[in-house]
Amino acid sequence: MTERIVLAYSGGLDTSVAIGWIHDATGADVIACAVDVGQGGEDLEVIRQRALDCGAVEAYVADARDEFASEYCMPALKANALYMDAYPVVSALSRPVIAKHLVKAAKKYGASAVAHGCTGKGNDQVRFEVSITSLAPGLQCIAPVRDLALTRDKAIDYAEKHNLPITTTKHNPFSIDQNVWGRAIETGFLEDIWNEPTKDVYNYTDDPAFPPVADELVLTFDHGIPVAIDGRAVSPLEAIQEMNRRAGAQGIGRIDIVEDRLVGIKSREIYEAPGAMALIEAHRELERVTLEREQGRFKREVQDRWTDLVYDGQWFSPLKRSLEAFIEETQRYVSGDVRLRLHGGRATVTGRRSDASLYDFNLATYDEGDTFDQSHAKGFIEIYGLGSKQATARDEKFGHGPSLDPDASNKGENE
């Protein structure tokens, strides 16, 4: 039986050419695997037929939009996942679900290897291959662009020579990856980090400098998951899609960042994630109302580590699973409503309410009805500051007490 290789197939030029390119280089039959994670574009059946027309012996297609939204985007929302405090791991989230379907296709068709279209200097090669081998350690991984010298110019020449049913052009200024959680844009003139993005970079968001009338809505959460918008029940996918539309119309979720890649280089990236950024803003605010102080502090450390692991391609790692168990526990009381005002590039929380709220009006108020016993404060402060007080007394004993002279440090350096 001829060896078989499963190819992550997008329906575009590079992966269409890769079908024949891999067959020519290895002699193996190629099975195309297309996974819809909300990237838009063509119908899956059109993509399936194109793969077969380009030489694939089989085509596996999967509508994974609901799966992606529920099992990947929602954990990221619970973790308030923002890499470098800015990027909602748009591409990193989609790679493990695509890898999962690549492995399923490999098992279904008896393939010995999986191929992807990543270069040798990006993060995605790591995400795909680590995810694939974590799920199926015996599978081999092939990257035609990295391993088989498939460049874009070669791809265009190959497509034209073999009359492949794919549009070819050497003018493509950007590299774009998108899904329902957001859109990533890089390369071209954006590689000069002084250059400002032009209007044609954006697709998910309108110009925030010219916003429509402010849009106010109420998001309802249940255990950290959005379940309704303005009282209308929504699935995770529907919540993301509606927030993409409404927040995108206000120009919310545009991100321009010089990012630390896993492979050790810095890369300028532009992202659009209107729904993700609006949902994270609402979710964080509801957590401020419902999480106990120390629990919330520690969660911020845990979720940052969770985000780094996901960015670094470790979705299926034991540590990520362990951290996720803690995050899931913190969501027990993250239920309630958040009112958001969307306008001019900003999602602003204007109200919050929860039956599980730790906010007590009678404790917080300075007006009539205050139940906070202020007589307890003096003793609390004395005990709270006792350690620092004792340490300062010791320092003064040995001549190292704190100086009140603002120029003391400079004097010490100049003497």
DSSP letters, 315-346, are TT-HHHHHHHHHHHHHGGG--EEEEEEEETTE
Q: Would you say residue 268 lies in a domain?
A: yes
**Domain-terminating residue out of 128, 144, 172:** 172
Q: Would you say residue 385 lies in a domain?
A: no
Report CA-CA distances (Å) from 303 to 52, 197, 254, 397: 43, 30, 22, 43
> Annotated binding residue at 124?
yes
Q: Would you say residue 303 lies in a domain?
A: no
pLDDT at 408: 62
pLDDT at 155: 83
Q: Are residue 105 and residue 244 in the same domain, yes or no?
A: no
Catalytic choice (48, 95, 254, 352): 95
pLDDT at 119: 83
Catalytic choice (36, 124, 206, 312): 124
pLDDT at 48: 94
355 an active-site residue? no
Q: Would you say residue 374 lies in a domain?
A: no
Helix extents (H) in 31-89: 44-53, 65-68, 74-78
Q: Are residue 153 and residue 69 in the same domain, yes or no?
A: yes
pLDDT at 169: 64
pLDDT at 366: 87
157 an active-site residue? no
Q: Report the number of distinct structural domains present in the chain.
A: 2
Q: Would you say residue 128 lies in a domain?
A: yes
> Annotated binding residue at 12?
yes
pLDDT under 50: residue ranges of the chain? 413-415
pLDDT tens by residue, 341-376: 999 999 999 999 999 999 998 888 888 888 888 889
214 closest CA partner among 251, 253, 250: 250
pTM of the model: 0.92
pLDDT tens by residue, 374-411: 889 999 999 999 999 999 999 999 999 888 887 765 55
- For residue 306, report the phi and psi dihedrals to the nearest 5 degrees: -60, -45
> Annotated binding residue at 109?
no
pLDDT at 368: 81
Q: Are residue 132 and residue 246 in the same domain, yes or no?
A: no
175 an active-site residue? yes
405 an active-site residue? no
